[in-house]
Chains A and B, each alone.
Chain A
Amino acid sequence: MSEALKVPTMAEMMAAGETPDILFWVGCSGSFDDRAKKITKAIVKILNKVDMKFAVLGVEESCTGDPAKRAGNEFTFMMQAMSNIQVMNAYEVKKIVTGCPHCFNTIKNEYPELGGKYEVIHHTQLVQQLIDEGKLKVEGGAFKGKKITFHDPCYLGRANGEYEAPRSVIQNLDVELTEMKRSRANGLCCGAGGAQMFKEAEPGDKEINMERAEEALALKPDVIATGCPFCNTMMTDGVKYNDKQDETQVLDVAEMIAQANDL
């Protein structure tokens, strides 16, 4: 059993007269979804392991407005964005790491014009930096030699051009990384983006996550790795639908790092 998580909030830090080096933006999924909470905890374990001076907003965090904006509801997006920016600017936030590519994209690209200018990185980028800087030593553990395929989240990959960080982190685990035919810039969406996560799919002859899960499962991987809580849900559903949950796990890159190193 690992130690209890240390998760300071910005409010606590401020009360103690301290300033964290980085704000960990958890996101709605990471805060409320039972599966995604495990990813959040894995990220915290990594941050604790390297003694990162970080903080979360806790109850002061609110949705970035991504699903509203992609659905065309600019009003709701704008209200969310402006109040989040007010909170973060009040705390003088400089640097943010997000647990979700949608939060990452929205804060990094759409907040600056509204007055929220921060250095924003995705958690896979942070983990890669920690490994590169020698602060985080990782071993393959149970994943050593296992067959892994990485599913590119659209809002990390195509939307922001980050294809390498998650792959480089995975490769540190001494695994066999195999690529699906549609990967990197040609990666196929899991079907959750653009507010699809929160509605029924339009009429068609297949669910998008089934199409993607079948493509991944054709490689017979031990793990389908992702870097997005929504991709995780979609791929997990797809794997279960194909009754392959005993052969293939769906894990976030952060979870793999935490599990392999007993964090």
Chain B
Amino acid sequence: MEYIPQILFLVLIAVGFGLFGKSALRIRRNILLGRDLDRSDNPSVRLSTMLKVAMGQSKMVVRPIAGTLHLIVYIGFVLINIEVLEIMIDGLAGTHRVFAPILGGLYTVAISFFEVLGVLVIAACGIFLYRRNVMKIGRFHSTEMKGWPFKDANYILIIEIVLMSALLIMNAAEANFPADHRAAGPFLISGLIAPLFNGFDPSTLHIIERVCWWAHIIGIMFFLNYLPFSKHFHIMLAFPNVYYSKLTPKGQFNNLESVKKEVELMMDPNADPYAAAPAPDPNAAPQRFGAKDVQDLNWVQLMNAYSCTECGRCTSSCPANITGKKLSPRKIMMDTRDRLENVGAIIDLNKGTFVDDGKSLLHDHITPEELWACTSCNACTEACPINIDPLSIIIDLRRYLVMEESSMPAPLAPVMSSLENNGAPWQFSPSDRFNWATEEA
């Protein structure tokens, strides 16, 4: 009988980590549905970018209030998780505060420090809830934030407050234990709230302490398994997302290799116009120009979608969005993730193969009106704290519209033919191009 808590604990974490592993593999599989892209170059630059931007939060603090609050929650989350190590050992070995006798006085210092962080995290989450629900900051209330995305953000903040409170209440209950029952403490913060439990009899205190201990670890396991279904998965993917982000100048768009080959052939004076086309590889899927659906995007773009935490800094700095156009770079990322989740679910339903459901990212999720509002100004990629690139998706979808559907806003059609025939976006004769040098001022 005495091993029952340990067995329960083992089952809890085995199921918790097992389910999380399954979700993580599903997301990995979905990301790898994207096209190949080689981002193995410049590992040292990538590493230092990751250390600065992801670990060092350099782009978060550009907005000082949200940035500082986020920094508190981030540091709190990382450091307080050291305590989870002790919980794991205690839970499996049936011990209580296994590090206390080893660390001695240092243990009290460490836990007190975690408690201070815990209080700061609770305060930061409280302010975040206030900003979202009371202050109604614009970027949290855009159209794409209605429903689940808005609730998701609140759930995460509430879970974090509950987890931190459980730790504090647990320690406060233990502070009232008879001295010979206490493994350590009292600690800095829980010592202050300990009087709440004054006069409770020891068995009640033990129950409160145990309930909080279990609530904390069950909460952590729940949270872990909530992540893959939430925007909060960024805590996992922010680091690789920054590592694999674009290093070339923001203005540099990729050149499409397939188009390059065709144009080279077209311009080659030695090419035989009557030569039979090389036999196509029968197994190769015909590659589209640009992207219609998520499988036409590359894996970094798909990872971007799973990394996005919907903070909306991109959208709030987008000139199109600021002036009331439908385009929202955040929605581009959310739509990409939603569509990818749908595609993944279809694959799961059909034993590993995708069956066309007649839908696609373009049109069913993202409309041409959104795409054509983009000025390609890179405000979104500059604003993103973890280097997500919504612009590359916008351009890939535009490429499909223009090159596969021959669809573009009416005024652009004559511009394209002028470019081809006159070498300028306007219908001027190329022979007049140098007239400026001899005209009267």
Q: Quick one: which of A113, A158, A159, A211 contacts B322, CB cutoff 8 A?
A: A211
Q: Quick one: which of B290, B377, B397 contacts A194, CB cutoff 8 A?
A: B377
Contact in complex: B378, A158 (CB < 8 Å): yes
Q: Quick one: which of B319, B402, B419 contacts A65, CB cutoff 8 A?
A: B419
The 0/1 profile, CB within 8 Å of B marked 1, for residues 178-193 of chain A is 0000000110110111
Contact in complex: A82, B267 (CB < 8 Å): yes
Contact in complex: A109, B289 (CB < 8 Å): no
Given contacts A158-B379, A208-B323, contact A63 B423 (CB under 8 A): yes
Decide if B260 is an interface residue (CB 8 Å cutoff).
Answer: yes
Q: Which residues of B contact A69 (CB under 8 A)?
A: 253
Complex Cα spacing A154 to B400, Å: 25
Decide if B278 is an interface residue (CB 8 Å cutoff).
Answer: no
Contact in complex: A79, B375 (CB < 8 Å): no
- Looking at A14-22, A90-98, A138-146, A197-205, the stretch in contact with chain B turns out to be A197-205
Q: Quick one: which of B252, B266, B320, B377 contacts A110, CB cutoff 8 A?
A: B252
Q: Quick one: which of A82, A196, A212 contacts B264, CB cutoff 8 A?
A: A82
Q: Which residues of B contact A197 (CB under 8 A)?
A: 425
- Looking at A70-78, A129-137, A216-224, A248-256, the stretch in contact with chain B turns out to be A70-78
Min Cβ gap B421→A in Å is 11
Q: Quick one: which of A7, A32, A195 contacts B424, CB cutoff 8 A?
A: A32
Contact in complex: A67, B325 (CB < 8 Å): no
Contact in complex: A113, B255 (CB < 8 Å): yes
Contact in complex: B263, A78 (CB < 8 Å): yes
Decide if B248 is an interface residue (CB 8 Å cutoff).
Answer: yes
Decide if A105 is an interface residue (CB 8 Å cutoff).
Answer: yes
Q: Quick one: which of A56, A82, A195 contacts B412, CB cutoff 8 A?
A: A195
Decide if B226 is an interface residue (CB 8 Å cutoff).
Answer: no
Name the CB-closest residue of A to B432.
Answer: A32
Decide if B420 is an interface residue (CB 8 Å cutoff).
Answer: yes
Decide if A245 is an interface residue (CB 8 Å cutoff).
Answer: no
Min Cβ gap A152→B in Å is 10
Q: Quick one: which of B251, B267, B369, B400 contacts A202, CB cutoff 8 A?
A: B369
Q: How many residues of A contact B (CB 8 A)?
A: 73
Name the CB-closest residue of A to B290.
Answer: A72
Decide if B130 is an interface residue (CB 8 Å cutoff).
Answer: no
Q: Which residues of B contact A186 (CB under 8 A)?
A: 317, 379, 382
Decide if A62 is an interface residue (CB 8 Å cutoff).
Answer: yes
Contact in complex: B255, A110 (CB < 8 Å): yes
Decide if A242 is an interface residue (CB 8 Å cutoff).
Answer: no
Contact in complex: B428, A32 (CB < 8 Å): yes
Beyond the given A62-B430, A78-B256, could you list 14 further A-B residue pairs with CB under 8 A, ordered by the A residue number? Answer: A70-B376, A74-B403, A76-B416, A79-B263, A105-B251, A109-B252, A158-B250, A159-B251, A189-B319, A198-B412, A207-B323, A208-B323, A211-B319, A211-B322
Residues of chain B having any CB pair with chain A under 8 Å: 248-253, 255-256, 259-260, 262-264, 266-267, 289-290, 317, 319-320, 322-327, 369, 372-379, 381-382, 395, 397-403, 408-409, 411-412, 415-416, 419-420, 423-426, 428, 430-434, 436-437, 439, 441
Top-10 shortest CB links A-B: A159-B251, A72-B398, A194-B376, A62-B423, A205-B324, A109-B252, A204-B324, A189-B377, A58-B434, A72-B402
Would you give 28 A-B contacts (Cβ < 8 Å), ordered by A?
A41-B441, A58-B434, A59-B431, A68-B419, A70-B376, A71-B408, A72-B398, A72-B400, A73-B408, A76-B416, A79-B420, A80-B423, A113-B255, A114-B260, A154-B376, A158-B379, A158-B382, A159-B250, A186-B317, A186-B382, A192-B375, A195-B415, A199-B411, A199-B415, A203-B326, A204-B320, A204-B324, A206-B323
Residues of chain A having any CB pair with chain B under 8 Å: 5, 7, 9, 26, 28, 30-32, 37-38, 40-41, 44, 56, 58-59, 61-63, 65, 67-76, 78-80, 82-83, 86, 105, 108-110, 113-114, 154-155, 158-161, 185-186, 188-189, 191-208, 210-212
